[in-house]
Amino acid sequence: MPSSPQQLTLDGSRPLTLDTVQALNAFCDAAEDAAHGGDPAEPLVLRLNGAPAGPAAPVLAVVNKWERAVRRLERLERPTVALATGTVGGTALDVLLATDYRIGGTGTRLLPAAAVDGVWPGMALYRLTNQAGVTAARRAVLFGTAIEAGQALALHLLDQLADDPAAVLPAAARALAAAGGSGVGIRRQLMLDASTTSFEEALGRHLAACDRVLRQGTLEVGA
């Protein structure tokens, strides 16, 4: 793994603005540009911390742009690793739930953002429910109850806990790069589509992915 992998730091305590959207889109731009000439299996790193101190009240048009930027992150061809510390909420939680591998500090807690009337109904609630299940996510979604580090690990919302997440990043990134291969983006999309796509619809997409892998293997053998 290179000494300076592509990274983005996001403070979830800051309000959502167009600057936040532009920063994430710029990160995705750089990742897509690098993918054409670099190692597609090299993980991207997102350093996440902070949660809003009060109710969220962003402009709806900015929320739409932000959710599209997070979805773009979720569809990158390269694997993504989150380093989470402290209380993670707001935009930081949105991004955490869109990454492939999540390393949290031992004191990390996931906190849905508050709104004037309860919990902010953004896409973090959608991802929490899809990833943890309705029963496990119920209190967080309905009442904004924080998900503590141990529970987040048990629910697979976090993959690893460490006193110093940055210290274990190099080993985790090397393991992901070695195991993930270049098709992680395709497999991720097939996984995300699985709960909403019928077998008949999914079959064609999976066959196309299998064909791509087989053709790639033929090219590599021929080379």
Q: What is the pTM of this model?
A: 0.86
C-alpha 124/C-alpha 130 separation (Å) is 10
The answer to whether residue 49 is domain-embedded is yes
22 and 42 co-located in one domain = yes
96 and 139 co-located in one domain = yes
Asked if the model's pLDDT at residue 4 lies above 60, the reply is no
The answer to whether residue 2 is domain-embedded is no
Average pLDDT, the chain: 88
Do 157 and 124 touch, CB atoms closer than 8 A? no
- What are the pLDDT digits (tens) for 30-44? 998 876 656 667 889
153 and 69 co-located in one domain = yes
Average pLDDT, integer, range 86-91:
97
Residues 170-183: b if buried by 16+ CB within 10 A, e if exposed: eebbeebbeebeeb
The answer to whether residue 42 is domain-embedded is yes
Q: Which residues have CB under 8 Å from 135's CB, separation 6+?
A: none
Q: How many domains does the chain have?
A: 2
H or E stretch at 101: strand 101-105
pLDDT cut 70: percent of the chain above it: 90
The three-point CA angle 116-118-121 to 5° equals: 95
The answer to whether residue 1 is domain-embedded is no
Task: Say what the pLDDT of residue 2 is.
Answer: 42
pLDDT cut 90: percent of the chain above it: 61
The domain spanning residue 79 has which CATH number? Answer: 3.90.226.10
- Sign, CA dihedral 157-159-160-165, equals negative
Average pLDDT, integer, range 4-23:
92
Task: Say what the pLDDT of residue 84 is.
Answer: 98
Do 22 and 66 touch, CB atoms closer than 8 A? no
Do 171 and 43 touch, CB atoms closer than 8 A? no
Which domain, by its residues, includes 201? Answer: 184-222
Average pLDDT, integer, range 162-169:
95
Q: Which residues have CB under 8 Å from 177's CB, separation 6+?
A: 1, 39, 41, 42, 43, 79
C-alpha 154/C-alpha 69 separation (Å) is 28
Asked if the model's pLDDT at residue 181 lies above 70, the reply is no
Asked if the model's pLDDT at residue 149 lies above 80, the reply is yes
Average pLDDT, integer, range 85-95:
97
Task: Say what the pLDDT of residue 3 is.
Answer: 40
Q: How many CB atoms lie within 10 A of CB 205?
A: 14
- Please report which confidence band the pLDDT of residue 88 belongs to, taking 50, 70 and 90 as the band edges: very high
176 and 205 co-located in one domain = no
41 and 151 co-located in one domain = yes
The answer to whether residue 93 is domain-embedded is yes
174 and 207 co-located in one domain = no
- What are the pLDDT digits (tens) for 43-64? 899 999 999 988 878 889 999 9
